[in-house]
Amino acid sequence: MSVYLDNSATTKPHKEVIDAMSRVMEETYGNPSSMHMLGVQAEKCLTESSRIISETLKCKPSEILFTSGGTESDNTALIGVAHARRRTGKHIITTRIEHPAILETCSFLEKEGFEVSYLGTDSNGIIDLDELESFIRPDTILVSVMHTNNEIGSRQPLDKAGSLIKKKNPDCIFHTDAVQGYGKDLIIPKKLNIDLMSVSAHKLHGPRGVGFLYIKDRTRIDPFIYGGGQQKGMRSGTENVAGIRGMAMAAGMAYDNLKEDTDRLRGLRSYFADELSNMESVTVNGPKNEIESAPHIISASFEGVRSEVLLHALEDREIYVSSGSACASNRPHVSATLKAIGLKPELLDSTIRFSMSVYTTREEIDHTLEVLNELLPTLRRFRRR
């Protein structure tokens, strides 16, 4: 049996998404900026896609900016706000457990002269709102807090954070990286005081290489990519019409079945986490309750077994998992998230991320547990001393 449990890295596109993209590539192949009929058809496809996505956020279609994915959306948000508001202030706040697309962009902005304050978290990966409040200053121009952590699945209290930010500094821009949360949770930016939100299509059974940035009306943000002035000058370059259509299809499907899918995933996650916790020398990381935890991510540390060794042992049995963020898993690194939550040093290199999707079954989870019970005693017996 082949079991794919690396859905936080990327998901299998829905058949409906593939079919929709294929039709666009075959039939709606005009440039959306062209004035002839084929161009108008492509432009209508973009307009319809904006409408579908905006309905999932209860926002205006004009507030959706299409990008190449989460990384570009994050870069556009942070650099765009920093450059647009540098005369107002140069202070930015984020967390220590953000995706590299945020942390590396903050590092870049620090080299440009911006000051970045980093929020810590508790052992479950949840920020301290009192610390956030203490960090906010009159010259704070941007706060970026992720919706759902990509490694341990902790979900931040964005409603309380948004209210706090706007109360203490109404002019401060609030951004969230919702790459792991969109499609798994109902997110209404205006209710959460969110000004900017990043999303990637391939995390919700859409295509790779496409995403969007929600930009609240009248939010000051400079363009990140210059050229022909597409998307009202905010993101030049010919739009990926087929990819955008596929993303809209995936978004619509996710929110049409949101409660049913998330309830089933939560049941699987609870069962899987309980079974892992009952194994000898296995620790499940992150929050346990439904409010603070994602329905699809389980992080577990296997004492006495290196994560890379376990990953490849599972791969040999056609079970596919991750040792952390896929964006960094192809090179040796120490997880900033696991360090931030205070994981024991000896477990930092013994942690595996299992991430599920709507296609994951109880049978697959049981098979994975069976294989783990079979592999772990052998791998521990022959571990390097």
Q: Active-site residues: which are they?
A: 327
Question: How far, in Å, CA of 15 to CA of 5, rounded?
Answer: 19
CA distances (Å), origin 12, targets 8, 35, 306: 11, 35, 28
Amino acid 152 reads I
- The closest of 208, 124, 184, 201 to 360, measured between CA atoms, is 184
Contact 241, 26 (CB under 8 A): no
Contact 285, 299 (CB under 8 A): yes
64 bridge partner residues: 214
